[in-house]
Amino acid sequence: MYSVHKSEATVLDLKGRFVNVFIGSDKLKSDHMTVGLTEVHPMTEMDPHSHDDKEEIIYVISGHGSAKVGDSVEPLEANTAVIFPVGVPHSVKNEGRSPLTFVFMFNPPTDFTYAK
Give domain status of residue 1, yes or no: no
Count helices and strands in the chain by DSSP H and E runs? 0, 9
Give domain status of residue 47, yes or no: yes
Residue-number span of the structural domain to which 57 is assigned: 6-115
> Please, which pLDDT band fits residue 116 given cuts at 50, 70 and 90?
low
How far is it between the farthest Cα atoms of the chain? 42
Give domain status of residue 84, yes or no: yes
Q: Which amino acid is at 61?
A: I
Per-residue model confidence (pLDDT) at position 112? 78
pLDDT score of 91 more than 80: yes
pLDDT score of 115 more than 80: no
- Name the more confident of 60 and 114: 60
∠ CA(49), CA(67), CA(108), 5° rounding? 50
Model confidence pLDDT, tens digit, residues 20-74: 999 987 778 899 999 999 999 999 999 999 999 999 999 999 999 999 999 999 9
pLDDT score of 114 more than 90: no
What's 109's domain CATH number? 2.60.120.10
> Please, which pLDDT band fits residue 1 given cuts at 50, 70 and 90?
confident
Per-residue model confidence (pLDDT) at position 39? 98
Give domain status of residue 69, yes or no: yes
Give domain status of residue 110, yes or no: yes
- Structural domain count, the chain: 1
Give domain status of residue 28, yes or no: yes
